Amino acid sequence: MERKTEKGEMKNDTLLEKGMEILWSKGYNATSINDIVEAAGVPKGSFYFYFKSKEDFTVKAIEKYFGTMFPPALEVLQNKSVSPKQRILDFYEFRSQVLKDELNCKMGCMACNLASEMAEHNEEIRKAIEVKTQLVNTYITEAVEEAQEYGEIDTTLNAADLVAFLEDAGKGAMVTMKERNSAYPIDNFMSMVRKLI
């Protein structure tokens, strides 16, 4: 891919960007190659010049998703001018705001959507998601461990287990948000997180 022209690089990026939005909204099986190329304004035949397959595209879209969506939240999580516990709360608040304000309580999390739909049917996609979410959990766990050292969070709770639980709760809240077509599950999640940690 490093030998592509500048024009090709742009097409590749546009396909990924526009295609990722559709994949995020509709899921894997309801997203056709035609949907993607139409959204990107790229000829259909070109798709296979840039990506080996629909699966290859999806794996790359997952990488792009985490590369785009997570760094701003990570900045909040690693803002050392704030206490560790507050950083964690700010982190979840930040993500809640994105869900509510930027995504209008729709779409949820692309990785969760794809995991739910595809994890048992496509190993490459499952692995691509697992690698990234494990990494996210590691970052959050570090912050929780710091908060425990500061005495801000109960040390009888294993940090990694607590984070896994909270991340699962966040995932579930996003599914319910779609099911209820409501921000309540997200707000309820935030409210509970404040009470629990």
List residues near DNA by CB under 7 A.
Answer: 3-5, 7-8, 11, 31-35, 42-50, 53-55
Of 55 and 167, which CB lies nearer to DNA in the complex structure?
55
Burial class (CB within 10 angstroms; exposed 0-12, middle 13-18, buried 19+) of 2 = exposed
165 binds, among DNA, its own copies, none (CB under 5 to 8 A by kind): its own copies
Cβ–Cβ < 8 Å for 137, 164: yes
Cα–Cα distance, 16 to 50 (Å, whole number): 10
| Least separation in angstroms between CB 1 and its own copies | 27
Q: Assign 100 to helix, strand or coil.
A: helix
Residue 19 in the binding site for its own copies (CB under 8 A) = no
Q: What does the per-residue mask of binding to its own copies show for 152-171, with x meaning CB under 8 A?
A: -----x---xx-xx-xxxxx
Cβ–Cβ < 8 Å for 129, 114: yes
Which candidate, 148, 130, 137, 134, places its Cα nearest to that of 91?
A: 137
Task: By CB under 8 A, name the binding residues for its own copies.
Answer: 25-27, 29-30, 106-108, 112-113, 115-117, 119-121, 126, 129-130, 133, 157, 161-162, 164-165, 167-173, 175-176, 178-181, 184-185, 188-189, 191-192, 195-196
